[in-house]
Structure 1
Amino acid sequence: MLHAIDNHASSLTDDLQAQLALHFPLRLLEIAGGRQGIRECGAGPAIALLHGIGSGSASWLQVARVLGQSARVIAWDAPGYGESTPLRALAPDASDYAERLLQMLDALGIQRCVLVGHSLGAITATAFSSGVQQQRISRLVLISPAQGYGHPSRALQRQEVRSKRLRTLEQLGIQGMAEQRSAHMLSPNASPKAKAWVQWNMARLKPDGYRQAIELLCGEDLLRHAPLSMPCEVHCGEADGITPPESCLPLAKALGGTFNLIADAGHASPIEQPCVVAGRLACALKESLTGASL
């Protein structure tokens, strides 16, 4: 039965994998830290996309295909994901990820861009946007942002989350995690193809990179990087059960940003509602160029 399910999921993703190779191919940058994997398409103003803890650059495929009609779209594989070299520290913080992001932007010759962080990627995006290179970010967009468990008040949760995630990795392995956890990333009405694509992306995690990302999640607090000097907007799937609207709204307020829901979407809205997400990001790009606020 499991083999039949795997074959069905594979058939659902065949077309997306073909699109990925043709329209949003992987390439490797040589940087000081080793190799950095990215996917890129389009031309125009730059927008950089950072994925979450259980995903990768390919998760942005359908968003990128729409955005690439009017922008230069870059999606990274975070350190330790895909073909990207892991960070040196066993328990890296947001500054380590932000330094790798800076190396990527430098290697691509990008001096200014809209920066987008989904889920755990929001912590890296916010840290970079509050750092010494903040003038390079014209607008920050956070989609279902993870706050992290680094604040002292979340010490008990931090221990529980770290232990649970490491134990799940040890017991199930990456493939087992993808089979069991992928459905939680989407709304109850998500299409079989969306479910298969979330699972396909999650199944390509690397244990070492995932362990480092767990340390980022558990050791960081997104709000320690506030306030921000650039406009910020936060979006969240209305059916997000991982970073629900009631947790995302306070983050938006604390960052001085706007907040909007994404209908018919769970946590993985870039996969479940790619056209809506692409539309939101296209508006963010336009606002960044005009200097207007939402």
Structure 2
Amino acid sequence: MFSSEDARLLAQPLPPLRCVATVSPVYAAGHGVMEYREAGTMDKPVLLLLHGIGSSSAGYRAQLAGLQYLYRVIAWNAPGFGESTPLADPQPDSGQYVEAALAFLRAIGVQRLAGLVGSSWGSVIAADFARSSDVPVGMLILSAPNTARALSQPEHERDAIRAATVKAGLASFGQDRSAIADKLLASNASPEVRAQTMRLRDAVTPGGWEQAMNMLFTVYTPKILPDVKAPVTLIVGREDKVAPESEHAAVLSGVRPDARLYTLDRVGHMPKLEAPSAFNEIVDRRIAWSEQKT
């Protein structure tokens, strides 16, 4: 599925990192800094991109490059990732990440999102944002979506499982990144995609990762999605080993039967990198469809 256009998109330079001061009670001092990348002009509809737990804004290289002529494309480094200020709560819930996103959007003057994309862990935040925030969302797009873990274990076992998961995850920070790429990507992933994937952990900090993992144990996305007013799009790789379609996207589609589900062949957990031109085309087509309806 990886094409010459995909290779071209992944070869484009990343926009420089920017930082903006934000004000929110979710930070220990009542204010923080959000690090992000941006491409496109201020007059275009806004597309906000939320990355996964082992990634950063750099994971959206192909979207920043390919969609900037149609949208003002903004990709954050979530709280605790890169130079973004971590949340004050060591065990935050998804609502605290939503509040951080709202503070960020206020700081950069965004009042409406034509599209909101969340990848994996970021899909949980995106869904909760679309449900609970006062910023209108034209189209919610969940890539490699995750049901999260609040109902995946019995309540009396959850804290022990969470602690063990966090401990094992923190111990893996020194793991061979090639092994991580093997887990994330389809077996046929190109060398370019593997190289990009292995670099994504550069902006992941142990503290930010631990908070993000703790959050997953506080929320269950299938309980959120039915209350989202925006139309929903799901994008999943048929070879996703981290969040298999049958356990995640299919469950979400079941609670939201009007959602449009796209399953990409020969793609794993990183559709935005493994099939970026197809990914971008779906994003643009679905946003255009929702904009026509408003």
Aligned position for 1:128: 129
Distance 2:230 2:220 in 1: 19
Q: Secondary structure at the match of 1:219?
A: coil
Which digits, 9 at most, give the CA deviation of each residue in 1:131-165, with x for residues without a partner?
A: 141x5111111011111111275545774464134
> Taking structure 1 as reference, are residues 74 and 154 closer, same or farther at Cα in structure 2, changes over 3 Å only?
farther
CA contact (8 A) 1:182 1:202 kept: no
Aligned position for 1:79: 79
CA contact (8 A) 1:162 1:218 kept: no
| Deviation, structure 1 residue 250 | 1.8
Distance 1:263 1:179 in 2: 22
Structure 1 counterpart of 2:288, one-letter code: K
Q: Which piece of structure 1 moves more, 24-33 or 255-264? A: 255-264
Structure 1 unaligned residues grouped into runs of 5+: 1-14
Structure 1 counterpart of 2:148, one-letter code: G
Where do residues 217-256 of structure 1 align in structure 2 (5 Å cutoff)?
A: 217-225=216-224, 226-247=226-247, 248-256=249-257
Q: Which piece of structure 1 moves more, 158-167 or 97-106? A: 158-167
| Deviation, structure 1 residue 179 | 4.3
Where do residues 46-61 of structure 1 align in structure 2 (5 Å cutoff)?
A: 46-61=46-61
CA contact (8 A) 1:233 1:252 kept: no
Aligned position for 1:258: 260
> Taking structure 1 as reference, are residues 66 and 221 closer, same or farther at Cα in structure 2, changes over 3 Å only?
same
Structure 2 counterpart of 1:269, one-letter code: P
**Length-normalised TM-score, structure 1:** 0.86
Q: What percentage of aligned pairs have identical amino acids?
A: 28
Which digits, 9 at most, give the CA deviation of each residue in 1:176-224, with x for residues without a partner?
A: 2634322211000001221111110124310100000110122221123
Q: Secondary structure at the match of 1:270?
A: helix
Q: Secondary structure at the match of 1:130?
A: helix
Distance 1:215 1:223 in 2: 18
Aligned position for 2:198: 199
Distance 1:246 1:132 in 2: 29
**Length-normalised TM-score, structure 2:** 0.86
Structure 2 unaligned residues grouped into runs of 5+: 1-8, 24-30
More helix per residue: 1
Aligned position for 1:41: 39
Structure 2 counterpart of 1:42, one-letter code: G
| Deviation, structure 1 residue 286 | 0.8
Aligned position for 1:178: 177
Aligned position for 1:27: 18
Distance 2:160 2:188 in 1: 33
Q: Secondary structure at the match of 1:60?
A: helix
Distance 1:212 1:157 in 2: 16
> Taking structure 1 as reference, are residues 220 and 52 closer, same or farther at Cα in structure 2, changes over 3 Å only?
same
Aligned position for 1:119: 120
> Taking structure 1 as reference, are residues 146 and 71 closer, same or farther at Cα in structure 2, changes over 3 Å only?
same
Distance 1:250 1:168 in 2: 25
| Deviation, structure 1 residue 262 | 1.6
Structure 1 counterpart of 2:86, one-letter code: P
> Taking structure 1 as reference, are residues 238 and 16 closer, same or farther at Cα in structure 2, changes over 3 Å only?
closer
Structure 2 counterpart of 1:115, one-letter code: L
Aligned position for 2:92: 92
Structure 1 counterpart of 2:34, one-letter code: Q
CA contact (8 A) 1:186 1:266 kept: yes
> Taking structure 1 as reference, are residues 100 and 263 closer, same or farther at Cα in structure 2, changes over 3 Å only?
same
Distance 1:161 1:193 in 2: 34
Q: Secondary structure at the match of 2:88?
A: coil
Which digits, 9 at most, give the CA deviation of each residue in 1:240-291, with x for residues without a partner?
A: 1111111211202313412110222100111111111111111122123111
Structure 1 counterpart of 2:18, one-letter code: R
Distance 2:272 2:86 in 1: 25
